[in-house]
């Protein structure tokens, strides 16, 4: 036979479970109350809270924020300048630097005029490429300085 409340095996005819200390001769309500009282007093792992507190790292969010707030990698001035000179009509250098508004404008001028406006965009890209290489344009769209 098994205890109704804790599931441990008990001998036939035995009225008191040795684990949960509940008499099986009691009415079902009294037994349920005793079962809830017994479950409150019995702690299967008394070191649970102690182990939890030892493993808890109060600096978790601080470490996360320190890693998250690191400065992004700087973009290359030479790469941006060369992209402006050679692919400026498509606005690739502006996409690289994060100036998506200007980049889309250059791309649309080239594409919507079926290439006839590419001359305008290529002059625009050439001038910006030279300005990037000479240092007149020295930050990306986020304000981060360009590296040499």
- Please write the tens of the pLDDT for every residue from 54-106: 555 555 555 555 556 666 789 999 999 999 999 999 999 999 999 999 999 99
Please tell me the least confidently modeled range out of 14-28, 56-70, 115-129: 56-70
Domain that holds residue 44: 1-70
86 and 129 fall within a common domain: yes
Is 144 domain-assigned?
no
49 and 31 fall within a common domain: yes
pLDDT at 19: 75
Tell which residue, 16, 14, 5, has the closest CA to residue 39: 5
Is 139 domain-assigned?
no
pLDDT at 31: 46
Is 148 domain-assigned?
no
Check pLDDT > 60 for residue 36: no
Collapsing DSSP to helix, strand or coil, 36 comes out as helix
119 and 92 fall within a common domain: yes
Check pLDDT > 80 for residue 13: no
89 and 52 fall within a common domain: no
Is 141 domain-assigned?
no
Check pLDDT > 70 for residue 52: no
pLDDT at 91: 95
pLDDT at 16: 75
Which of 36, 52, 70 terminates a domain? The answer is: 70
Is 143 domain-assigned?
no
Q: Tell me: the pLDDT tens digits for 112-121?
A: 999 898 899 9
Number of domains in the chain: 2
Which of 55, 70, 85 terminates a domain? The answer is: 70
4 and 60 fall within a common domain: yes
Burial 48-62 (b: 16+ CB within 10 A, else e): eeeeeeeeeeeeeee
98 and 47 fall within a common domain: no
62 and 100 fall within a common domain: no
1 and 23 fall within a common domain: yes
In the chain, pLDDT over 70 holds for what percent of residues? 66
Between 15 and 25, the higher pLDDT residue: 15
Tell which residue, 127, 129, 120, 143, has the closest CA to residue 92: 129
Which of 45, 70, 95 terminates a domain? The answer is: 70
CB 10 within 8 A of CB 21: no
Q: What is the pTM of this model?
A: 0.53
Please tell me the least confidently modeled range out of 17-31, 70-84, 127-141: 17-31
């Amino acid at each position: 036979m098994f205890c109704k409340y804790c599931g441990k095996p008990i001998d036939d005819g035995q009225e008191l479970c040795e684990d949960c200390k509940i008499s099986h001769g009691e009415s079902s309500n009294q037994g349920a109350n005793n079962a809830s009282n017994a479950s409150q007093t019995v702690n299967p792992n008394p070191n649970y809270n102690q182990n939890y507190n030892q493993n808890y790292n109060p600096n978790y969010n601080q470490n996360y924020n320190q890693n998250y707030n690191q400065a992004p990698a700087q973009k290359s001035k030479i790469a941006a300048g060369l992209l402006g000179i050679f692919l400026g009509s498509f606005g690739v250098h502006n996409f690289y630097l994060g100036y998506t508004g200007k980049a889309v404008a250059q791309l649309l001028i080239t594409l919507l005029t079926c290439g006839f406006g590419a001359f305008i965009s290529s002059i625009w890209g050439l001038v910006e490429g030279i300005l990037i290489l000479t240092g007149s344009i020295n930050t990306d769209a986020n304000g981060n300085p360009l590296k040499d």
